[in-house]
């Protein structure tokens, strides 16, 4: 199959430096674009969201999807990994009372885009190790809530559970695979 790749970043307005990512993409011959926004300040300063992550993520995804459509893309690949999926599933169960998680592949009817998550079966620690081994540019999350969220708390709980029961991640992965085979949740 012949396809083109473009790199897209939605800058939420915290002043992160994406220069190293730009250099990396140019070295690979990949077009890269950053679109600045005021998403972060709107979520935190204007709206004073108590739980800002969901709204911020929604707005950032919308911005990336809009960038993709502007460039004629038909797929958006997000870097969600297995730990993201596990944390999302547990957060949904614990804080919303429902069994819900993003799907590995989703068609967005309104935009016509497909969202794919090619790393969804890979543990975060493996992604981190590969990034280090390959010396990939990693931009530190500049969000003021980073490390102080429900997701961070659930990440710690999963880590503690894994220390006690090493098979916990593989069991949760099996649960997710079962849900995804059934197409749940939509």
Residue 186 has pLDDT above 50, yes or no: no
CA distance to 73, 77, 103, 123, 171, per residue, from 177 (Å): 28, 19, 10, 14, 10
Residue 183 has pLDDT above 90, yes or no: no
Q: Which residues pair with 116 in a beta bridge?
A: 77, 105
Give all domains of the chain, ordered by start, each with its CATH number: 6-182 (3.40.50.620)
Using CA atoms, how far apart are residues 87 and 162, in angstroms rounded to an integer? 13
Which has the closest alpha carbon to 143: 16, 31, 54? Answer: 16
Average pLDDT on 88-108 reads 94
Which token pair is 51? 């739980």
On whether the pTM is more than 0.85, the answer is yes
Using CA atoms, how far apart are residues 154 and 159, in angstroms rounded to an integer? 9
Which has the closest alpha carbon to 87: 74, 97, 77, 102? Answer: 102
Residue 106 has pLDDT above 50, yes or no: yes
Average pLDDT on 154-162 reads 97
pLDDT of residue 184: 61
Give the sheet arrangement for strand 113-116, strand by strand.
Answer: 75-77, 113-116, 105-108
Using CA atoms, how far apart are residues 165 and 90, in angstroms rounded to an integer? 17
- For residue 108, count other CB atoms closer than 10 A to its CB: 13
Which has the closest alpha carbon to 105: 93, 120, 95, 94? Answer: 120
20-45 pLDDT, tens digit per residue, is 999 999 999 999 999 999 999 999 88
Alpha helices per DSSP H over the chain: 19-28, 39-41, 52-70, 82-91, 124-133, 150-164, 168-182
Q: Is the Cβ–Cβ distance between 113 and 73 less than 8 Å?
A: yes
Using CA atoms, how far apart are residues 141 and 146, in angstroms rounded to an integer? 7
């Amino acid at each position: 199959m012949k396809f083109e790749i473009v790199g897209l970043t939605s800058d939420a307005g915290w002043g992160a430096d994406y220069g190293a990512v730009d250099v990396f993409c140019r070295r690979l011959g990949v077009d890269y674009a950053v679109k600045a926004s005021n998403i972060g300040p709107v979520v935190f300063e204007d709206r004073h969201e108590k739980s800002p992550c969901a709204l911020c993520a929604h707005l950032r995804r919308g911005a990336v999807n809009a960038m993709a459509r502007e460039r004629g893309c038909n797929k958006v690949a997000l870097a969600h990994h297995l730990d993201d999926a596990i944390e999302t599933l547990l957060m949904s169960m614990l804080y919303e009372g429902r069994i819900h998680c993003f799907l590995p592949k989703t068609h967005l009817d309104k935009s016509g885009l497909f969202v794919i998550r090619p790393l969804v079966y890979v543990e975060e620690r493996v992604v981190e190790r590969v990034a280090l081994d390959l010396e990939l540019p990693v931009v530190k999350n500049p969000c003021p809530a980073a490390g102080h969220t429900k997701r961070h708390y659930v990440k710690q709980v999963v880590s503690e559970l894994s220390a006690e029961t090493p098979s916990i991640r593989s069991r949760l992965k099996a649960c997710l695979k079962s849900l995804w085979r059934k197409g749940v949740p939509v």
